């Protein structure tokens, strides 16, 4: 029974802990950037990762630090927050196919009638030089059935323009003059193959 005869009154004991004394945390080390420093090198010096240094110091571009910039070294327990991964819903749509129809162009090659001079030496040379085609112009500086240079063509009395612009008979006439001027050496390989 409680004192004074009141059974409903009970004494309650409350224990109050003594107030905690604040523990002073030592200040975090700081480092002043010098020429040639990188976050990786600074992190290695203080046993921290460069992502932790960048995150703790709010450096947006870890490849860009400045001389005289002060870097606070985070506590060893600090770890850089993981980069946020934004996940967007994946949707697939079939590629759009565009149809293009090129305009139709009709090209008619100029009709040239040509024939090589049968089985003679000149016909053989033309066959080996150009396949017997007097209109041959491959852009290599040699033209026509006998693959003449413009200089040889003109010196033998050939007309203006390219030798490949002339008929086989005209090319044969001019090349017979070239052969008289230069000999069969004007076609050193094919003339030998053709027995000249």
Is it true that 30-72 and 121-193 share their CATH fold? no
How much is the mean pLDDT over the chain?
80
What span, in angstroms and rounded, lies between the C-alpha atoms of 161 and 174? 14
What is the structure's pLDDT at 111? Answer: 47
Phi-psi region of 10 (alpha: psi -120 to 50; beta: other; left: phi over 0): beta
**What does the pLDDT average to over 8-25?**
64
pLDDT above 90 coverage of the chain, percent: 28
- On the question of pLDDT at 15 being above 80, the answer is no
The class of domain 30-72 in CATH terms is alpha beta
Q: Which residue has the higher pLDDT, 130 or 92?
A: 130
What's the topology of domain 121-193? Lysozyme (1.10.530)
* Location of structure tokens 């002043």: 32
How is residue 138 annotated by DSSP?
Answer: -
pLDDT digits (tens, 9 = 90+) for 54-104: 999 999 888 889 899 999 999 988 877 776 655 666 666 667 776 767 677
The domain spans of the chain are 30-72, 121-193
Which pTM does this prediction carry? 0.42
């Amino acid at each position: 029974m409680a004192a004074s005869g009141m059974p409903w009154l009970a004494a309650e004991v409350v224990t109050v802990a003594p107030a905690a004394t604040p523990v002073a945390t030592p200040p975090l080390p700081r480092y002043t950037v010098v020429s040639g420093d990188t976050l990786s090198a600074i992190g290695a010096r203080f046993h921290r990762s460069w992502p932790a240094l960048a995150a703790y110091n709010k450096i947006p571009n870890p490849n860009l630090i400045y001389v005289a910039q002060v870097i606070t070294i985070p506590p060893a327990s600090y770890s850089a927050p993981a980069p946020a991964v934004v996940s967007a819903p994946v949707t697939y749509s079939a590629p759009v196919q565009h149809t293009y129809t090129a305009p139709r162009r009709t090209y008619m090659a100029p009709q040239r009638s040509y024939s090589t001079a049968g089985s003679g030496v000149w016909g053989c040379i033309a066959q080996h030089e150009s396949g017997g085609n007097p209109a041959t112009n491959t852009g290599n500086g040699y033209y026509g059935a006998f693959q003449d240079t413009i200089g040889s063509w003109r010196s033998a009395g050939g007309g203006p323009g390219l030798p490949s612009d002339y008929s086989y008979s005209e090319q044969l006439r001019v090349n017979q003059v070239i052969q008289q001027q230069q000999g069969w050496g004007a076609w050193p390989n094919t003339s030998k193959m053709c027995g000249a």
